[in-house]
Structure 1
Amino acid sequence: MKPGLKVVAFARRIAMALTFHRRAVTLGVRIAVFDANGHVLLVRHRYMPGWYLPGGAVDPGESAPEAALRELSEEAGLAGTQPPRLVGLYRNLREGGRDHVAFYRLDRFEAQPNALAPNREIAEAGFFAFGSLPEGTTPATLRRLTELSDGTPPPADW
């Protein structure tokens, strides 16, 4: 290899390494919450279409289970009365493959005064039977609920 090409190749490797380190891995959470009738909680955001499991980003200094319970409180006004159970850790390819989602399940909670009330972020929230999910339930939400209902092992990708 010519000396000039060696410099270019070295510079390219350095640039790729710096780019790799700048794009941090991100972590989000989703939580499947079931009531005493086995109905699942779904939320509809004001800023994007579809029905989702509650969730969001893990904040600095926060654990993933703490984030799941915080998001549940913020989005639906419910407080977990037990630790959420980790179902799986998924890679979210829609966000470039460096985003990951920790998926939790919760079967015990209590309502706060603002339970299921619309807020700045959430247009609607409610509990739905698996066979009667609202129109617009997202494909990823349907996949996660199907896995929970039939015991399918979680895949690697969200």
Structure 2
Amino acid sequence: MTAVDNLWFLATEARQAAEQVYHRFADRYDDFVEFRTTRTVSRDRFRTVAERIEAQGLPYGAHTLAYRPTGELLLVEQAAINTWVLPGGEVEPDESVREGARRELGEEAGIDVTYDGLGVLGEVRFRSDGHETWGVLPIFEGEADSTDLAVCDPDGEITDARWFDELPENTRDRSVLQEWRKKRFGE
């Protein structure tokens, strides 16, 4: 007996969920930077992200652009992949998207922010073995309430947190963050 592969159906359901989530953010917020990126992933990884997208519209959860009034941006280090990223992660079922971003910020950098709104709204497309779907990456912006950093990541993925005036070369989505800084601070 041959098992039926439902990956095409999962990809379709995920796309529909992403479309709804994207429009909710776009209708609620204005004046944010938009970007689109495409990633080719393994079949197993495609299934994982499609399941996350189907459940919440979000393949990577929610993130925060925490900044100081002087323009420095907070990044956290994922040492396993030698990359500086924005703090953030998966949203728990009982949280709003912004509550998840706030919780992740606290875990990964030990600070809180006063949120201004949505800084960036991303569309992340995934391809694998003839299948394609996409999900939403919401990145909220907020001014830091404190600047003393402390990494308390329960997942152990984040090994450092720092404020940057100049973004390191190994910053994920560096060009998007530079575009946001230019818009926000006129740099």
What TM-score do the two structures reach when normalised by structure 2?
0.59
The whole-number CA distance in structure 2 between the counterparts of 1:123 and 1:38 is 23
Is there any run of 5+ residues in structure 2 with no aligned partner, and where? 15-49
The whole-number CA distance in structure 2 between the counterparts of 1:108 and 1:29 is 17
Residue by residue, what CA displacement relative to the aligned partner does 1:71-92 show, whole Å, maximum 9, x if unpaired?
1001000122x23511233211
Counterpart of 1:69 in 2: which secondary structure?
helix
**Who is 1:104 aligned against?**
140
Is there any run of 5+ residues in structure 1 with no aligned partner, and where? 1-11, 153-158
Distance 1:43 1:18, change over 3 A: closer
Contact kept in structure 2, 1:118 and 1:125, CA below 8 Å: no
Distance 1:68 1:15, change over 3 A: closer
Which of 162, 172, 177 is the matching residue for 1:126?
162
Amino acid at match of 2:72: H
The whole-number CA distance in structure 1 between the counterparts of 2:175 and 2:170 is 13
**Who is 1:156 aligned against?**
none
**Who is 1:86 aligned against?**
118
Contact kept in structure 2, 1:34 and 1:106, CA below 8 Å: yes
What is the root-mean-square deviation in Å for CA atoms of aligned residues?
Answer: 3.0
Counterpart of 1:126 in 2: which secondary structure?
strand
Amino acid at match of 1:20: T
The whole-number CA distance in structure 2 between the counterparts of 1:146 and 1:18 is 34
* Structure number with larger C-alpha Rg: 1
What TM-score do the two structures reach when normalised by structure 1?
0.68
Distance 1:150 1:83, change over 3 A: closer
Report how many residues are paired. Answer: 133
**Who is 2:177 aligned against?**
145
Contact kept in structure 2, 1:30 and 1:103, CA below 8 Å: yes
The whole-number CA distance in structure 2 between the counterparts of 1:15 and 1:123 is 35
Residue by residue, what CA displacement relative to the aligned partner does 1:32-88 show, whole Å, maximum 9, x if unpaired?
1111321000111133221111111222121111111111001000122x2351123
Residue by residue, what CA displacement relative to the aligned partner does 1:102-125 show, whole Å, maximum 9, x if unpaired?
01111132357xx33475221111
The whole-number CA distance in structure 2 between the counterparts of 1:15 and 1:136 is 33
**Who is 1:31 aligned against?**
64
